[in-house]
Amino acid sequence: MHRTEDMDELMTCRLDHHRRQVEVATVVIFGASGDLTSRKLIPALYQLYAGGQLPEDFRVIGFARRDKTDESWRAELREALDRYSRTGPVDEVLFTGFAERIHYCRGDLAETDGYTKLAGMIAAMPTPELRENRLFYLATSPSQFGIIAEQLHEANLLERGPAAGWHRLVVEKPFGRDLSSASALNQELIRHAHEQQIFRIDHYLGKETVQNILMFRFSNSIFERLWNRDAVDHVQITVSEKLGVGRRGGYYEESGALRDMVQNHLLQVLALIAMEPPVALDAEPIRDEKVKLLSAVRRLLPEQVAKQVVRGQYRAGVVAGQAIPDYRAEEKVATGSDTETFVALKLFIDNWRWAGVPFYLRTGKALAESASEVRVQFKPTPNVLFAAQCGPRLDANSLTLRLQPDEGITLHFNGKIPGVGIGLRPVRMHFSYDSEFGAYTPEAYERLLLDALSGDPTLFIRRDEVEQAWEIVDSVRAGWEGQGMADDAFYPAGSWGPECADQLLARAGHAWREPQIQR
């Protein structure tokens, strides 16, 4: 055998034989006239339909207050697909078939009439599977999740426990705004649905590169052996966005970077990077390990917050040629707002593997680049030979997992500069998804919808995960209580955040590494 592709094919190991089947079902989207539905949910369902990944017989019912007919909603969705379809122009024949399976139910979430109408529409479905298998997607404000579950239950549409077919709730973020509101929301949902019926979304987990973290760690012996306090100096997790808050100022004022990004996406990535191997590649063992890891993240005392957490807010600046105003001058933002648009944290994990290793997390808006990546910085070589001569100019090894864009993995090491002299320079070994596998980048929502339809909760957040993550975030918020934004917290849009975020690392002899995006 000569060709490497043949070898690759031979060595390809498929693990999805135990994946559950996507079953015929009716998907009900609450919040059908909203932004998420037209930008993400319908394009994802259309893509799955176009790819033959949905059962031939499925139905979607959109539920919202606005007055629409099946036809007018389909026409709106057709336009939305023109804007948001990931594969370019919409195929008219395909769309006709897709649209025939889409219906609209007008109703108010708080009133019984709408649910009675919805129950009638579901009862009139042509097959038992369409009548009995129900996926309720809650794309509304979280304050409405509880009432929807209750009304569905009252209308005999959501049974807790055994029923003919299955009933599932998919719940959007944010899941609460602190531990107590998240627990209260869990209590409300759990009255009408078992934990196994609740699928809490964190779309980050639907990303291929985030899923690859576990595959990469646990299928490659060379890295896993180094994945501990003996070899790792520190870890950096960056999720940066170039955009400011734009028109979402009202929402952002209520959340801020810590709640909006750290509680979910960054702590989920941290859990996958640092957790112990699960006993099996199944939902519960994987989620058990994530919970264990999150519970080992040291909670910060208020006095530690000042030393280990930096918050920031953007001032006017230019990002990629676009002027961005002061955060405080954005639409629906209070003129004296203390909402953080940037946060950087230094966290420790109190377990055997990671004792003493700092994990730096940062996220923010109006930053220099939009990028998500994890950098595992290994310890330097002993202070003899090159290290003794070069000092800090001799870079230590690191491994960067690029979650987006330019998805891939880069190993940084030192190499000799060719020539008669002895010179060293950091060089890179670069793996890119695009060049290895071609440009296959399914939207996270496609994967997550398929998983919810097949009843696989692996990529959804379990109740105890949410609660652990809120405990970490609440400990930070408690340290901020009653304290305004410090003068040095402001950073110009287009920078990498406030200078004190650099000092947070510099105090330990570390420095942020800026994402290196190949263009």
Ligand X SMILES: NC(=O)c1ccc[n+]([C@@H]2O[C@H](COP(=O)([O-])OP(=O)(O)OC[C@H]3O[C@@H](n4cnc5c(N)ncnc54)[C@H](OP(=O)(O)O)[C@@H]3O)[C@@H](O)[C@H]2O)c1
The beta-carbon contacts of 413-417 under 8 Å, at least 24 apart in sequence, are 414/386
36 is an interface residue for ligand X by CB under 6 A: yes
From CA 43, how far away is CA 176, in angstroms rounded? Answer: 27
Give strand pairing partners of 399: 376, 411
Segment near ligand X (CB under 6 A); pick from 27-35, 149-157, 343-351, 436-444:
27-35
Spatial separation of the C-alpha atoms in residues 411 and 429, rounded to whole Å: 5
230 is a site residue for ligand X (CB under 6 A): no
Task: Select the span of 33-41, 152-160, 402-410, 499-507 touching ligand X (CB under 6 A).
Answer: 33-41
Please, which residue, 64 or 345, has the CB nearer to ligand X? 64
**Can residue 461 be called a binding residue for ligand X (CB under 6 A)?**
no
**Binding flag, residue 146, ligand X (CB under 6 A):** no
Count of residues of this chain found to bind ligand X when the rule CB under 6 A is applied: 20
Give pairs for 407-410: CB < 8 Å, separation 24+.
407/208, 407/209, 407/432, 407/433, 407/434, 407/441, 408/432, 408/433, 408/434, 409/216, 410/516
Q: How far is the CB of 55 from ligand X (least distance, A)?
A: 26
Between residues 110 and 388, which has the closer beta carbon with respect to ligand X? 110
State how far the Cα of 294 lies from the Cα of 271, in Å rounded to an integer: 6
Residue 122's closest CA among 27, 21, 24?
27
Q: Residues 59, 167, 168, 173: which binds ligand X (CB under 6 A)?
A: 173
User: Would you say 127 or 141 has its CB closer to ligand X?
Assistant: 141
What 3-state DSSP class applies to 40?
A: helix
Question: C-beta of 82: minimal distance to ligand X in Å?
Answer: 18
What's the residue count for the chain?
519
Residue nearest ligand X, Cβ-based: 34
Residues 6+ apart with CB under 8 A from 10: 1
302 close to 481: Cβ distance less than 8 angstroms: yes
* Site membership for ligand X, residue 35 (CB under 6 A): yes
User: Which residues share a beta bridge with 232?
Assistant: 378
Q: How far is the CB of 461 from ligand X (least distance, A)?
A: 13
Q: How far is the CB of 110 from ligand X (least distance, A)?
A: 6
Using CB under 6 A as the binding rule, whether residue 185 contacts ligand X is answered as: no
- For ligand X, the binding residue among 22, 24, 27, 32 (CB under 6 A) is 32
- Residue 34 touching ligand X (CB under 6 A): yes
Are 44 and 151 within 8 A, CB to CB?
A: no
Give, as ranges, the residues between 147 and 166 that touch ligand X (CB under 6 A). none
* Residue 225 is a binding residue for ligand X (CB under 6 A): no
497 is a site residue for ligand X (CB under 6 A): no
Residue 278: asked if its preceding bond is cis (omega within 30°), the reply is: no
Minimum distance from residue 109 beta carbon to ligand X (Å): 4
Q: Does 31 bind ligand X (CB under 6 A)?
A: yes
Site for ligand X in 101-130 (CB under 6 A): 108-110
Q: Is residue 234 classed exposed, middle or buried when 0-12, 13-18 and 19+ CB atoms within 10 A define those classes?
A: buried
CB under 8 Å to 7, separation ≥6 — which residues?
A: 1
Contact between 172 and ligand X per CB under 6 A: yes
Which 51-70 residues touch ligand X, going by CB under 6 A? 64-66
User: Which one of 31-39, 205-213, 235-243, 408-416 is the stretch in contact with ligand X (CB under 6 A)?
Assistant: 31-39
Using the rule CB under 6 A, which residue among 112, 116, 141, 389 binds ligand X?
A: 141
- Considering the complex, state which of residue 24 and residue 41 has its C-beta at the smaller distance from ligand X: 41
Place of tokens 């646990």: 218
By C-beta, is 246 or 277 nearer to ligand X? 246
140 makes contact with ligand X (CB under 6 A): yes
Q: Which residues are catalytic?
A: 265
The letter for the amino acid at 413 is F
Contact 275, 480 (CB under 8 A): no
Q: Please, are residues 266 and 361 in contact by the beta-carbon 8 Å criterion?
A: yes
198 contributes a contact to ligand X by CB under 6 A? no
Q: What 8-state DSSP symbol labels residue 5?
A: H
Q: Which residues contribute to the site for ligand X (CB under 6 A)?
A: 31-36, 39, 64-66, 108-110, 139-142, 172-174
